[in-house]
């Protein structure tokens, strides 16, 4: 009987730990500690974000929170939630900006019911998904892989697409007219969380990073 109880408790502990245990065993690093903004930096005011119940929660007007480590090839797992009518995004390969909306990199949209027709899963201005794969105030998991000139996007373990940047070949931008707007996958950049507007309340937690070889 004692052996059975021990086995049951071990299984229960594994279930509670969930993806965190998987991430640690698979070479993932937790990049948000759930307690403070260590490793992260706001580009305008920290008043745009607060920490509640182990999650980063957006509030107020426009603000962006950067994970202050430049990355090239990597995987990202992040749990996200957005309120009814809210709008937000998770950027990858952004360059640091002291203010304003990021003008480089890629935005993975966070939007379940906002009037913007570009919903969660969309690669903003590139791939449009018209129906969100989750509801209002419902946690979902983004799993993004950036390798070479591709981005692979998954939501709740469902593959949405693999985007291959037509402007690049072998990770090198093609042509001479490379601007800040189109300088994308070849560059290193930051993971960035968006606070969009006062009516939007996004939440982010369980943020894990796995670096991939260049």
Q: What is the pLDDT of residues 108-142, one digit of tens each?
A: 999 999 999 999 999 998 899 999 999 999 999 99
Q: What is the pLDDT of residues 155-205, one digit of tens each?
A: 999 999 999 877 655 444 444 444 544 455 557 899 999 999 999 999 999
Quick one: how far is CA 71 from the chain centroid? 13
CATH number of 31-211: 2.60.120.560
For residues 163 and 160, what is the distance between their CA atoms, to the nearest angstrom? Answer: 10
Domain boundary assignment for the chain: 1-28, 31-211
CA dihedral 104, 107, 113, 119 (to 10 degrees): 120
Given a cut of 80, is residue 32 above it in pLDDT? yes
């Amino acid at each position: 009987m004692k052996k059975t109880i021990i086995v049951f408790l071990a299984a229960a502990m594994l279930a509670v730990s969930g993806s965190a245990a998987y991430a640690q065993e698979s070479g993932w690093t937790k990049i948000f500690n759930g307690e403070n903004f260590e490793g992260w930096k706001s580009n305008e005011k920290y008043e745009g974000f607060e920490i509640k119940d182990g999650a980063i929660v957006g509030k107020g007007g426009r603000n962006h929170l950067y994970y202050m480590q430049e990355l090239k090839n990597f995987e990202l797992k992040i749990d996200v939630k957005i309120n009814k009518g809210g709008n937000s995004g998770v950027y990858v390969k952004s360059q640091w900006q002291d203010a304003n909306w990021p003008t480089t990199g890629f935005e993975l949209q966070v939007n379940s019911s906002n009037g913007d027709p570009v919903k969660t899963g969309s690669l903003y201005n590139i791939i449009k998904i018209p129906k969100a794969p989750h509801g209002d105030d419902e946690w979902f998991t983004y799993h993004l892989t950036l390798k070479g000139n591709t981005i692979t996007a998954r939501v709740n373990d469902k593959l949405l697409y693999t985007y291959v940047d037509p402007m690049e070949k072998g990770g090198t931008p093609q042509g001479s007219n490379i601007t800040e707007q189109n300088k994308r996958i070849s560059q290193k950049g930051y993971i960035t969380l968006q606070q969009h507007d006062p009516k939007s309340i996004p939440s982010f937690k369980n943020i894990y990073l796995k670096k991939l070889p260049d």
